[in-house]
Amino acid sequence: MPLNHIMHVEDDPDIRAIAELALATVGGLNITQCTSGRECLAVVEECIPDLILLDVMMPDLDGPETLRRLRTLPGMSEVPAVFMTARCQPDEISGYQALGAIGVIPKPFDPLTLADQVRQLWDQSQAAGG
């Protein structure tokens, strides 16, 4: 199954704008953007994304806690998640993977290759059985 719809959760409006350009315009993907973990949790069941792209550091509800809560919602336990963060030390990456993330994309990211990076992680997760 090809990757089609991404939910991007990011509190920084500049990063949201660049990611939308990178994923939708350059990458040809459908994208739903949320400004917070709470917004994501409120709307995710309406749009059922193929993949969730989560910022790690957000006020109120950070990316890891958002992912924990997403996993408790109907139909969300198996949706692949990728963290986007400047916090990319090996122990941090291990922690994200322990939460069930299929990968981590370091910030700052390259807008010209972001969609390809996400698709590569998607393809790897699909080849591994979901």
The CATH number that applies at residue 82 is: 3.40.50.2300
Please tell me the total count of domains within the chain: 1
Tell me the pLDDT band of 105, cut-offs 50, 70 and 90. Answer: very high
pTM comes to: 0.94
Give residues with Cβ within 8 angstroms of 29, minimum separation 6.
Answer: 3, 4, 5, 6, 23, 115, 118
Give residues with Cβ within 8 angstroms of 14, minimum separation 6.
Answer: none
Model confidence at 129: pLDDT above 80: no
Residue 82 lies in domain:
5-127
